[in-house]
Each structure stands twice: as C-alpha cells, then as structure tokens.
Amino acid sequence: MTELVIQGALSGLLIGGIYGLIALGLNLVFGTMRVVNFAQGTLLMVGMFMAYWLFVLTGLHPYLSPLVTVPALFALGYALQYFLVTPLLARERAREPMSVLLMTLGLALVLENLALMLFRGDYKTVQVRETSAVWILGDYIVSVGRFWSFVAMLGTVTALWLFLSRTDLGRAIRAVGQDRQVARLLGMNDRVIYNYAFGISTAVMGIAAAALVPFYYTHPAVGTSFLLKAFVIVVLGGLGSMPGAALGGLAVGLIEGVIGIWTEAAVAQILLFAVFIAMLFFRPAGLLGLERK
C-alpha cells in the first residue's frame, strides 16, 4: 500500500512539473498586467502541434523543438499583445479588465477550432525513446519522459526567477506590474515591456510543449484541460508568484497522482476545483502570494 502511494506521488509530482510550467506562463502575464489569459492553454496546444509536425516532417526530436518553437511562440505572443491586448488596455481604466479576458477567450476559440479543422480531432502521438522508456529505482518506476519534463520545469523556473530578479528587463517587467506611472517616469516604455512579458509567457509554452509531446497525446482541445488546472495552481500558489506557480503545480500533480491510485482521475479534478473555490474564498492571495496586497 505504501509503495502504491509513493509510486502515485512520484508520478504525480513529475506530471506536476508540466502544470507548473503552464501556470508559470499564466502567472507572468497576470502578475504584470492583471490580465487573465484564457488563451494560455491554447498556445500550449499550438506549441505541441509545432513540435509534433517538426517531428513528423523533419524527424527533429521534440526535445530540440524549442529551438524553433520558443522564438516562434515568443514572436506570436509579442504580436498578440501588440495587436490585441494593448489597444484594450489603453482604453480600460479598470485594474483587471474583463475586456481582455473576453478577447483572449475569443482567441482561444479561434485557435482551438482552427486546429480542429486543420488537424482533425484524432489523438496524435510521437514515438521516441522517452515515450515508453522507464527507469527502475528499487521498487519504483519512473517514466523517462515525465522525468525530463520535471527537469525542464525546474530549469525554466530557475531561469525565469533569475531573469525576473537579476536582469534589467526582468525587474522592469515586475516594476511595470507594480506601478506603471512610476515605471514610465524612470524611463520604461510600459507598452513594450508588456509585449515582452506576453511574449515570454507564450515562449514558456514552447518548453512545456516539448516536454509534453513525447509522452502525451497532441489534440486541439489539450490546452483547455491544462488551462483550468493552471488557474487552480495560480490561485493556489499565489497570484504573480513564480515559485508559487511551480510549487502549486507540484502540489496539484501530487494530489492527482495519489488520488488516482484509488479512483478515477476525474475525482481528483473535482477535489481540485473544490480546493480552488475554498482558496479563492479564504486566502485569495494564495499560499505563497507575495507580490499582492
């Protein structure tokens, strides 16, 4: 029994890395612009299809796909912010504008259903060594693909954390999120910085996609299921908090993994939503929410 629980926890923790990555992207945009991006999951899906087709057409290993997808998704995110979100932010006075939420919802509908039209709704998988390879550690089995996704998450969290706390652009992104007027007075062009923030948050989806494609199915609707979990994680870990997103992701993965031993994964989902609502109600700043009053 204990072994089962530990095995479940292990698998859950490893998949939790992916959740953490998606939440990280979501949180970067929320933390800076107070914008809830409903298209975050769909952008993950775009990254997955890019990685998939790169593999099918050129044989590029998905783990190398970020070389292409990260710059491409960064450019896409930058452009989305520039053309779709900035005009709305310029118009709205509210701190958390609903119009941007509706805009990204529209975008998600378009992208997801466009993918459905172009690529059909069958489940596409990529066969590489990491798809089925496992490591046996004593009594426990570790999926190689999941392990590398976990490493990718740790690496990305560390890189993003260093970027946000040590570089000028990273600090500027946080500064604009905390006080736009002062940031302007100190010479920061807030609009351009928003573009970068959105671009980076989208680019992170390229890494998540690369980690996911070898062992997960690629499907137009794959983003939506991850998105809802990512929202739970963001609220759990704290709005705008990068470590919070990572730890929240692990926590959610852990809960899923352990509960999955006894019952269907869907039960874990119900539990997560219940936790989500309870968190919103009792601790809206999140467990680790720092950058928020």
Partner 1 sequence: MTSTWEGRLLSVENLTVRYGGYLALSEVSLEVREGEIVCVMGANGSGKSTLLNAISGLVESEGEVRFEGRRSLQGVPTHERLSLGLAHVLERRRLFPYMTVLENLLLGAYLPPLRSERARALERVEALFPVLRERRHQLAHSLSGGEQQQVAIARALMGRPRFLMLDEPFLGLSPRMVLEISEVIRTINRDGGVTVLFNEQSVQHSLGLSDRGYILESGRLALSGTSGELLADPRLHRIYMGLDAA
Partner 2 sequence: MRPEERRIALALGLVAAVLVALVPAAAQALLDDHAYWIQVHVWILFFAMCATAWNIIGGFAGQYSFGHAAFLGLGAYTSTLLYLNLGVSPWIGMLAGGTVAALAGAVISYPCFRLRGAFFALATIAFAEMLRVGGELTDSVFGIQINGARGLVIPPVGNSAWAFQFTDKASYAYIAYALLLLTLAIAYAVKRSRLGYYLAAIGDDEDAVKSLGVDTARVKLAALLISAFLTAVAGTFYAQMVLFITPTRTVSLDLSVQMVIMAVLGGLGTVFGPLLGAVILVPVAELTRAALGGSTIQGAHLIVYGVILMLVVRFTPGGIEGQVRRACRRLVAWIADLLHGPAAARAAVVNAPVIQLPEGSGLGLRAAAGEAVPLSVENVTMRFGGAVGAKDVTIEVGPGEVVGLIGPNGSGKTTVFNLITGFLTPQTGRILFGGRPIAGLPPHRINRLGIARTFQIVRPFTSLTAAENVMVAALPRCATLAAARAEAERCLAFVGLSHRLDTVADGLSTGERKRLELARALATRPRLLLMDEVMGGLDQRSLPGMIELVRRIRREGISLLVIEHNLRVITMVTDRLVMLHLGEKIRDGSPLAVVSDPQVVDIYVGGTAALR
Within its chain, how far is the Cα of 1 from the centroid?
A: 33
Q: Does 72 bind partner 1 (CB under 8 A)?
A: no
Orientation of helix 2-33 relative to helix 242-262, angle to 10°? 150
Closer to partner 2 by Cβ: residue 62 or 244 = 244
Q: Does 102 bind partner 2 (CB under 8 A)?
A: yes
H-only helix segments in the chain: 2-33, 40-58, 66-80, 86-91, 98-119, 129-132, 144-166, 168-178, 180-185, 190-212, 222-237, 242-262, 265-282
Closest CA to 124 of 51, 66, 59: 51
Closest CA to 133 of 124, 123, 142: 142
Q: Does 266 bind partner 1 (CB under 8 A)?
A: no
- Chosen residue from 27, 40, 65, 269 binding partner 2 by CB under 8 A: 269
Q: Does 236 bind partner 2 (CB under 8 A)?
A: no
State which of positions 133-192 bind partner 1 (CB under 8 A).
165, 168, 171-172, 174-175, 178-179, 181-190
The tokens for 18 are 């992916």
Binder of residue 274, out of partner 2, partner 1, none (CB less than 5 to 8 A by kind): partner 2
Region from 66-74, 115-123, 125-133, 141-149 binding partner 2, contact rule CB under 8 A: 115-123
Q: Measuring CA to CA, how many Å separate 24 from each of 61, 155, 166?
A: 24, 12, 18
Q: CB under 8 Å to 183, separation ≥6 — which residues? A: 172, 175, 176, 190, 193
In whole angstroms, the minimum distance from the beta carbon of 24 to partner 1 comes to 18
- Chosen residue from 29, 33, 46, 108 binding partner 2 by CB under 8 A: 108
What x-and-dash track marks residues 53-92 binding partner 2 by CB under 8 A?
A: -------------------------------x--xx--x-
- Backbone angles phi and psi of 134, in degrees to 5: -135, 155
Closest CA to 248 of 6, 1, 13: 13
Rounded to whole angstroms, the Cα distance separating 220 from 266 reads: 20
Q: Does 87 bind partner 1 (CB under 8 A)?
A: no
Q: Does 290 bind partner 2 (CB under 8 A)?
A: no
Per CB under 8 A, residues contacting partner 1 are 165, 168, 171-172, 174-175, 178-179, 181-190, 290-293
For partner 2, the binding residues (CB under 8 A) are 36, 84, 87-88, 91, 94, 96, 98-99, 101-103, 105-114, 116-117, 121, 220, 224, 228, 231-232, 235, 264, 266-267, 269-270, 273-274, 276-278, 280-281, 284
